[in-house]
Amino acid sequence: MGIRLKVLIVDDSAFFRNRIAAALNPAEEIEIVGTAANGQEAIDKAQALRPDVITMDVEMPLVDGISAVRTIMAESPTRIIMFSALTKEGAKETLEALDAGALDFLPKDMRGSGRSGEEINDLLLERVRAVGRARLPATKPAGTHFRPQVIRASAGGREVKPSMVAIGASTGGPVALRQVLTALPRNYSLPVVVAVHMPGSFTKAFAERLNAVCAVEVKEAVDRETLKPGLVLIAPGGKQMTVERGPSGQQVRVTDPLPGQIYHPSVDLLLSSVATGFNGNALAIVLTGMGSDGMEGAKKLKSAGSGVWSQSEKSCVVYGMPQAVEKAGLSDRVLTLDEIGPTLARVI
């Protein structure tokens, strides 16, 4: 047996601690090294046990989960998955935890998701394994110096003047998107559409949080909303978002997912619609995330003549989605997270 993945389970509910343990115990490569019933215990045990992954509740006595994440990331940086309520307040708290350094999150009550108990356990195992392989975020951005000249997107060795930008992300995506979008200036000349794998109750709070810190306008998309320069539209969680031509120009369509569609929103579906609607005049960016969502859409964009960028392995939390794009030979540029925003700001 190889190196085991050490996990610390943190929750004030003994029932939930046991539930997580029951899901993880059957996996031979996972070792539960301890449990904690509050944030202070979590801080102490993170120091003493040095786990590879911590599953962290938000609301706990003595020290809450968000404060515990901040302290752990300052004193003994560890990969952390948050368990949060699928509510407006739960979304706000989870986004604060991600800002503090948590890498991923799962809804605490997944019984209403339509998944069986076995499927829920499989999902938890999959996330713990993925986060256990993830890179810890840098404590400070590396800082890259850019020359001030304007650049163009590139596609297949030629310069492309894009009419819009489409971005896809999953695990690690909320923090990555914040870093990219805060680099765009107030007068940014291109519309931006974004699909990130998040629950429906989270995307509105996520968009509002980004809008508060970005120079560009960021909002959760509504059906038939027109694309505008400097406007970033976030696909609502639990829905599908595509781009099509409308009476006032290009617009988004927000629809219910069809049976069998794994991701909603789907990066593949969004990028495929952009490939059809923009005739090779688009730029797609695939950021950190688990799986390969976005690869098929990127292939259609490249076939249409658009440009595709992907996030570099060393700067990803999980190098799944960008890896699929790069391995398929679709990436015109492979950029670190520190490079993507400032470079995108100079694309006209």
pLDDT digits (tens, 9 = 90+) for 230-278: 999 999 999 999 999 988 899 999 999 999 999 999 999 999 999 999 9
| Global confidence as pTM | 0.88
Residue 153's pLDDT band (cuts 50, 70, 90): low
Band (160; pLDDT cuts 50, 70, 90): low
Known catalytic residues are: 170, 197, 293
In the chain, the amino acid numbered 57 is: D
Average pLDDT of every residue of the chain? 89
**CATH 3.40.50.2300-classified regions of the chain:** 5-133
pLDDT (tens digit, 9 = 90+) per residue, 109-150?
Answer: 765 555 667 878 888 898 899 899 887 765 444 333 334 344
Closest CA to 166 of 57, 266, 255: 266
**Which among 46, 2, 56, 60 is positioned nearest to 28, based on CA atoms?**
2
For β-strands 53-57 and 5-10, DSSP reports them as parallel
Fold entry, domain 5-133: Rossmann fold (3.40.50)
Q: How many residues does the chain have?
A: 348
| Region 153-345: CATH code | 3.40.50.180
Contact 239, 229 (CB under 8 A): no
- Give the residue range(s) of CATH 3.40.50.180 domains in the chain: 153-345
Mean pLDDT (whole number) for 63-75: 96
Residue 113 structure tokens? 């998701």
